[in-house]
Chain A
Amino acid sequence: MKKFSALLLSSLLLSSGAQAQDSFKLCWSIYVGWMPWAYGAEQGIVKKWADKYGIDIEVVQINDYIESINQYTAGEFDACTMTNMDALTIPAAGGVDSTALIVGDFSNGNDGIVLKGKEQLADIKGQNVNLVELSVSHYLLARALDSVGLSEADVQVVNTSDADLVAAYSTSDVTAVATWNPLLSEISQQPNSTVVFNSAQIPGEIIDLLVINTDTLAAHPELGKALTGAWYDIMATMSSDSEEGVAARSYMAEASGTDLAGYQAQLAATKMFYTPAAALELTNSAQLKQTMQYVAEFSFDHGLLGDGAPDASFIGVQMPAGDYGDSGNVKFRFDPTYMQMAADDQL
């Protein structure tokens, strides 16, 4: 018992905090904008860059998106792929100082709201809306309702697991859903269905990031360099029209369970930042500050910032355009340093 408890205790304790050796772990989950990590790991691009900086990077796929963020927050991983909203509400709200190392893309139609039998967003009033509660879909709904002068009190949100959303949509009592691709395209293709609002109407607000533990990054800048270098290396291949580029996209399509055409369709609804310059433009913009304010206010209204949060600006977000919220409690940072190095060819 003693030995067992000592073992359990040490494993509970060890899993927190930054690790001191130069071996690191990155987690990712299936999503159009994160498939490049699968390709980079498979093709040895990540290893090539890790070797260049004399470190070791393990790339791990996690099948459950939220579980991957929870694992990162618990300290099992040094870096993980997630959206700006989830980065604020899970690790940052959990006191894990996190940095957006790479701004990969933003959803430009990949998330949407579908109505059955109605064609106007305003018709959503009074309906049950099935969605994954507290996800970016929920945020999208809040922003959509806002745009037509409605509020969440005008609809009834029903938490529905993403795995069951497509099956649920085929039943008669589900008339409105908010979801993301590939579920969105599956659902919107059903008869009598209209996408009444999508993320292209709030461009640059649902951002997909590679988030890294700030302390780890400060202690090991070579990890930031290796990851950023590998990412834009993959981006260069992925965006090219060459045979290699098609092969890369085909690989990503297959790894995400679709075909090349399906993957290209998802890419079309995603604003990928293939060059560091494009990513820097959003990162450095004043719009990002506005976006993070929307996200923080939504998160606070839904209790996502924790019970210690007196208002939406409780958690500080550091951005090149200036801080949002409490500068004394900065837990989430957009750091353009490494993307700038990539843009300047200094990696």
Chain B
Amino acid sequence: MKRLINLTPPPASKLFLGLLPFALLLLLYVVASDARLAENANDKLLPAFSQMGAAIERMALEPSKRTGEYLFWQDTASSLKRLALGVLIAAAIGLALGLFTGALPLVHAGVSPLLTVVSLIPPLAILPVLFILFGLGEASKVILIAIGITPFIARDLQRRTQEIPSEQLVKAQTLGANTSQIMVRVLLPQLMPKLIDAVRLSLGAGWLFLIAAEAIAATDGLGYRIFLVRRYMSMDVILPYVAWITLLAFLFDWLLATLSRRLFPWNAQGAH
């Protein structure tokens, strides 16, 4: 039937259609950048790709004049350390909270309402409080990330635990399993792939909190650098940094998805 709804692009043009918007955006940028640079060779708003390349070369391949560090890698390492710590803490606490509140009605009754309320507090709004409690150093940045995404992971895993069919729990009990055996042998394995899914979904928010924390007080980090060079409108540094953050975020998402498929193939099969 020749209806639009039935038309699917052949594989080759599917790739082409997917790349087209990217190409158009790039072209639009190059044209606009050239136009501005033709008028003012020092224009900072839309730097040419060669200028961005030079800026990144300067920051990634040459030691800084002031500190002797390779700023780009230093920023990346600091930010990733903060993000990884924050996400790991959030995943561990989120898993424990989700498992216990999902599996044990007694814990659920006691903790769940509090968890719901806490998850509604916007973490950035309590940032000044975090500063006073944990200082301006690394701790408050990691804690902001952890506080920001733990409730999401915990509530998601709580729901996933409750979704596991009760027949499984009954069966395990008829086979003689006690509570801790059911939690460790029946529930936990099924929750692990869900945990990876939840972490994947919360990574975006994790980056947001990381950059917000670094913008406020820091001596290095990807967010720090962006907010620092904003002071003199260095788009030739900001734009590559944004692209780098996007690439890192994409890589983590892809890594976690692959990890999940490798470790829990039965889960991936069930999802199709």
Q: A135, B231: Cβ atoms under 8 Å?
A: yes
For residue A210, give the distance in angstroms from its CB to the closest CB of chain B: 20
* Assembled-state Cα–Cα distance A93/B231 (Å): 12
Among B28, B135, B228, the residue within 8 A (CB) of A9 is B28
Q: B128, A164: Cβ atoms under 8 Å?
A: yes
* Assembled-state Cα–Cα distance A94/B235 (Å): 11
Interface hits, A219-245 → B, CB 8 Å:
none
B233 at interface by CB-CB < 8 Å:
yes
* Assembled-state Cα–Cα distance A167/B236 (Å): 33
Interface string of B53-94 (1 = CB under 8 A from A): 011001000000110000000000000000000000000000
Among listed B6-14, B34-42, B106-114, B194-202, interface-contacting one: B34-42
Interface hits, A59-115 → B, CB 8 Å:
66, 70, 73-74, 89-90, 93-96
Contact A164 B231, CB 8 Å, known A130-B136, A157-B219, A159-B217 = no
Counting residue pairs across A and B whose Cβ atoms lie within 8 Å, the total is: 110
A290 at interface by CB-CB < 8 Å:
no
Q: A161, B216: Cβ atoms under 8 Å?
A: yes
Contact A308 B136, CB 8 Å, known A158-B218, A167-B128 = no
* Assembled-state Cα–Cα distance A161/B227 (Å): 9
* Assembled-state Cα–Cα distance A16/B228 (Å): 24
Please report the total number of A residues contacting B with Cβ < 8 Å. Answer: 45
* Contact partners of A344 in chain B: CB under 8 A: none
For residue B74, give the distance in angstroms from its CB to the closest CB of chain A: 14
Closest B residue to A171 by beta carbon equals B135
Closest A residue to B137 by beta carbon equals A173
* Assembled-state Cα–Cα distance A135/B227 (Å): 12
* Contact partners of B231 in chain A: CB under 8 A: 66, 90, 132-135
Interface string of B217-259 (1 = CB under 8 A from A): 1110000100110111100100000000000000000000000
B263 at interface by CB-CB < 8 Å:
no
* Assembled-state Cα–Cα distance A130/B24 (Å): 44
* Assembled-state Cα–Cα distance A247/B41 (Å): 47
* Assembled-state Cα–Cα distance A301/B67 (Å): 12
* Contact partners of B41 in chain A: CB under 8 A: 95
Closest A residue to B51 by beta carbon equals A307
Closest B residue to A10 by beta carbon equals B32
A13 at interface by CB-CB < 8 Å:
yes
Name the residue among A5, A159, A160, A168 with the largest chain B CB count within 10 angstroms: A159
Q: B216, A160: Cβ atoms under 8 Å?
A: yes
Among B55, B131, B219, the residue within 8 A (CB) of A307 is B55
A1 at interface by CB-CB < 8 Å:
yes
Among A13, A16, A70, A170, the residue within 8 A (CB) of B40 is A16
Contact A156 B219, CB 8 Å, known A66-B230, A134-B228 = yes
B46 at interface by CB-CB < 8 Å:
yes
Q: B232, A89: Cβ atoms under 8 Å?
A: yes
Q: B233, A168: Cβ atoms under 8 Å?
A: no
Q: B128, A95: Cβ atoms under 8 Å?
A: no
Q: A159, B219: Cβ atoms under 8 Å?
A: yes
Among A70, A170, A174, A301, the residue within 8 A (CB) of B233 is A70
Q: B132, A170: Cβ atoms under 8 Å?
A: yes
A144 at interface by CB-CB < 8 Å:
no
Q: B136, A158: Cβ atoms under 8 Å?
A: yes
Name the residue among B35, B54, B219, B231 with the largest chain A CB count within 10 angstroms: B231
* Assembled-state Cα–Cα distance A157/B127 (Å): 21
* Assembled-state Cα–Cα distance A89/B233 (Å): 9
* Assembled-state Cα–Cα distance A1/B134 (Å): 49
* Assembled-state Cα–Cα distance A160/B135 (Å): 12
* Assembled-state Cα–Cα distance A152/B65 (Å): 13
* Assembled-state Cα–Cα distance A255/B2 (Å): 66
Interface string of A7-19 (1 = CB under 8 A from B): 0110011001100
For residue B141, give the distance in angstroms from its CB to the closest CB of chain A: 12
Residues of chain A whose beta carbon lies under 8 Å from any beta carbon of chain B: 1, 5, 8-9, 12-13, 16-17, 66, 70, 73-74, 89-90, 93-96, 130, 132-135, 152, 156-161, 164, 167-168, 170-174, 301-304, 306-308
> 20 A-B pairs, CB-CB below 8 angstroms?
A5-B24, A9-B28, A9-B32, A12-B46, A13-B32, A16-B45, A66-B230, A70-B230, A94-B43, A95-B43, A156-B219, A157-B219, A158-B217, A159-B219, A160-B136, A164-B128, A171-B132, A173-B136, A303-B65, A307-B55
Apart from A8-B32, A90-B231, A152-B66, what 7 extra A-B contacts exist at CB < 8 Å? A8-B28, A94-B45, A159-B227, A160-B216, A161-B216, A301-B66, A307-B58
Residues of chain B whose beta carbon lies under 8 Å from any beta carbon of chain A: 24, 28, 31-32, 35-36, 39-46, 54-55, 58, 65-66, 127-128, 131-132, 135-137, 215-219, 224, 227-228, 230-233, 236
